[in-house]
A = this chain, B = another copy of it.
Amino acid sequence: MAGQVNPDLGKERENASFNTQKLTNFLYGGAEKVRRRRYIESLAFSDPAYSSDEDPTFMSREEQYSSGLKRAVTMLQRVKELNIAEEDLDTYRSAALQGFGPGIGLHWVAFTPTIVQQATEEQKKKWLKPAQDVSIVGAYAQTEMGHGTFVRGLETTATYDPSTQEFVINSPTLTSTKWWPGGLGKTTNYATVMAQLYTQGKCYGPHNFMVQLRSLEDHQPCPGVTLGDIGPKMEGNGNDNGFARFDHVRIPRENMLMKFARVEPDGTYVQPPSSKLAYSNMVYLRGTFVMSAAYTLATAATIAVRYSCVRRQSEMKPGEPEPQILDYQTQQYKLFPQLAAAYAFWFAAQFMTQQHGTITGSMEKGDMSGLAELHALSAGLKSYTTAVMSGGIDVCRMACGGHGYSHASGLPALFGLGASLCTAEGENTVMMLQTARYLVKCFVQSQGGKTLTGTVAYLSAVQPSPVAGNKNMSDLGTLVAAFQHRAARMVRHAAMQMQNEMQKGKARADAWNSCSVLLIKAAEAHVHSFVVRNFAETVQTVEVDESIRAVLTSLCQLYSLYGITEHAGDFLMDGYLTGGDIDAASSHVSAMLARVRPDAVALVDAFDFHDKTLRSVLGRYDGRVYEHLYEWAKKSPLNKSEVHESYNKYLQPFLKSNRAKL
């Protein structure tokens, strides 16, 4: 029987209305890229050095740390041996790490890129090669116990001493302790440390400094440096997220990363040329979060949709066999909106990548015009997509019933991973308020007669007075227009409310705060309308195949209509849509659930996630869930012995004494 596919799942694949491989090619940008991706993955999957039997959920914290480090070191060696190309690195790394997220990962995700972006050419000569060759290993030490997203509030100081031409790195308070940086606890021997720069008696704000943390000989902390692990977290416990305290640690002046701002030997601070590059990097980084949101939600949807075709439960009609649980409308209503959102976010992330490329090109020619808009969109998109993804994973988990709660499903770990994206790299509410700030600015400009362009053009184009009337609620153009109307109305409403409050005498900051719930909702509506529009445009320009265009159109309709029914109040408020329109939307949602049902497995298969990437007994490609659930459970540490030692220690004496009293 081994190797056979669960017949229910097999049938689903046979009955799909489109060619899965073609959709995969479309998602990844062409057949050649898919081939390449699979080839690179196979290098890791077939490598006996990466044992797929290792399961972090069976391990203690220390075992997770140790196994992750071992795996990462092997991976770094292989990258050199196999000469893995730059553009294949992400694929190879995740195929090799298979769910282990070691602290050393921050070395290539954050430490090395910081050198690339912020070091002078001379500094690069000194640190970039050792970093790239991994003869030093580094952390990116920004967040402190007392400050996260609000970087200006950091308390670590770097005070310049011209007499020795050194900076003194110091942690003046308990809350200034660096807290959270990945790999900082036990792994790294260097870090770029963000600190408030003081020179000539004046504070110039946060800057980055290269600081050695541990001896390259014996890995002991350098004098004045206190290091440690910050303790277990919701997920990611292979990572030694750490703390660091500095007691007047002296570093050479040249250890300040000086590509932009500089401090002269005499202590003179030299302003950086106004640079938008930092913003461009941030836009790029947030784009990767949108892609992560898409991937993570797609992973959860893959697991839950496949399992829902294998699982049969209850009785729909007396006397008939138990139906596949995906045949229940309530199950479809849980899962298909997540599936549709995964596609929507995938395309939104691709838009961000393309736009970032375009903007970077323009910036090199000196044209900064598109940056602010893209920056605002990226902040909101990061916030919106990660929030929807995090909630969506939990929906998928609960849709798998009790088994979704087991680590065998892979969903608890996926949720933990996804959840971290909501507070990391800019807390989501702060991010959304950045978008709101830009939108209010645009609205005011538009009021002043300026014509807006790009993703905010609709703010000035849409009419304030609603256009009621019977609408074709399955037409994508109608749906896009509805989302734009909603967003424009909400932006206007929030901005006007703020103006009202200021006219009544409130300070701008107080008015902003007391309208911030409205502002957040307006910004969410803006981002939502962008995702809908981008999805619709992507679908309308698919040139692959009519059957693929058809199924993606259904998904796009589902995503949009579901959004309308979930936020019906926003569309009904000013009568733009009527109760009848909402009822129609609701009926269309039901129709789209039924339309997507026979293609659901093919739609998740198209994401092309290997079983070793999914790491889910419930989501296996072959659908052989129950056999493997049993095999997986047998490996539980508690099953190493038939009678656990704690029985003899605690339970037996107790039971015996109670029996004796009978």
Contact = CB atoms under 8 A, between A and B. Distances in A.
A209 interface: no
Contacts of A221: 642
Given A150-B314, A662-B129, A638 B186 contact: yes
A229 interface: yes
A513 B60 CA distance: 45
Nearest to A661: B133
Contacts of A317: 507, 509
A12 interface: no
B315 A220 contact: no
A143 interface: yes
Nearest to A574: B579
A329 B136 contact: no
A179 B625 CA distance: 14
Interface stretch (A3-11, A42-50, A232-240): A232-240
Interface string A209-242: 0000000101111000000111111100000100
A52 interface: no
Given A513-B329, A655-B136, A233 B639 contact: no
A626 B145 contact: yes
Interface in A27-60: 57-60
Given A77-B654, A579-B573, A638-B65, A57 B329 contact: no
A642 B627 CA distance: 43
Contact of A570 (B136, B517, B520, B568): B568
A179 B402 CA distance: 10
Nearest to A429: B330
Which among A146, A234, A642 has the greatest number of chain B C-beta atoms within 10 A? A234
Contact of A61 (B70, B233, B517, B638): B638
A230 B636 contact: yes
Secondary structure class of chain A's binding surface, majority of residues? helix
A641 to B, nearest CB: 9
A433 interface: yes
A61 B58 contact: yes
A401 B76 contact: no
A428 interface: yes
Nearest to A240: B638
A104 B655 CA distance: 12
Interface string A175-204: 101011000011101000000000000000
A419 B433 CA distance: 30
Contacts of A629: 145, 179
A654 B136 CA distance: 10
Contact of A420 (B189, B405, B572): B405
A272 interface: no
A322 B572 contact: no
Contacts of A642: 220-221
A233 B405 contact: yes
This chain's copy number in the assembly? 2
A301 B412 CA distance: 23
A229 B322 CA distance: 28
A489 to B, nearest CB: 10
A290 to B, nearest CB: 18
A473 interface: no
A634 interface: yes
A550 interface: no
B234 A407 contact: yes
Nearest to A329: B516
B230 A633 contact: yes
Interface string A308-323: 0000011111000010
Interface in A406-458: 406-408, 412, 415-416, 419-420, 422-424, 427-430, 433
A513 B330 CA distance: 8
A643 interface: yes
A394 B408 contact: no
Contacts of A329: 513-517
Nearest to A145: B626
A516 B634 contact: no
A361 interface: no
B398 A422 contact: yes
B315 A150 contact: yes
B229 A639 contact: yes
A609 interface: no
A600 interface: no
A58 B135 contact: no
B626 A433 contact: no
Interface string A58-85: 1111100110011001001100000000
A89 interface: no
A140 interface: no
Interface in A509-547: 509, 513-518, 520
Given A230-B636, A517-B333, A405 B423 contact: yes
Nearest to A229: B638
Contacts of A135: 655, 658-659, 661-662
A571 to B, nearest CB: 8
A350 interface: no
Given A60-B637, A153-B313, A228-B633, A402 B517 contact: no
A24 interface: no
A419 B394 contact: yes
A652 interface: yes
Contact of A569 (B189, B582, B643, B651): B582
A219 B633 contact: no
30 contacts: A60-B60, A60-B61, A60-B637, A73-B654, A129-B662, A134-B658, A135-B658, A153-B313, A185-B638, A185-B639, A219-B647, A219-B652, A220-B643, A229-B639, A230-B406, A230-B636, A231-B407, A234-B406, A234-B412, A328-B516, A329-B515, A329-B516, A330-B516, A334-B429, A390-B394, A405-B419, A568-B573, A569-B570, A573-B579, A574-B579
Given A129-B662, A153-B313, 4 more contacts: A77-B654, A153-B322, A231-B406, A405-B423
> Would you list the 7 A-B pairs with minimal beta carbon distance, nearest first?
A568-B569, A60-B60, A234-B412, A229-B638, A135-B658, A66-B646, A572-B572
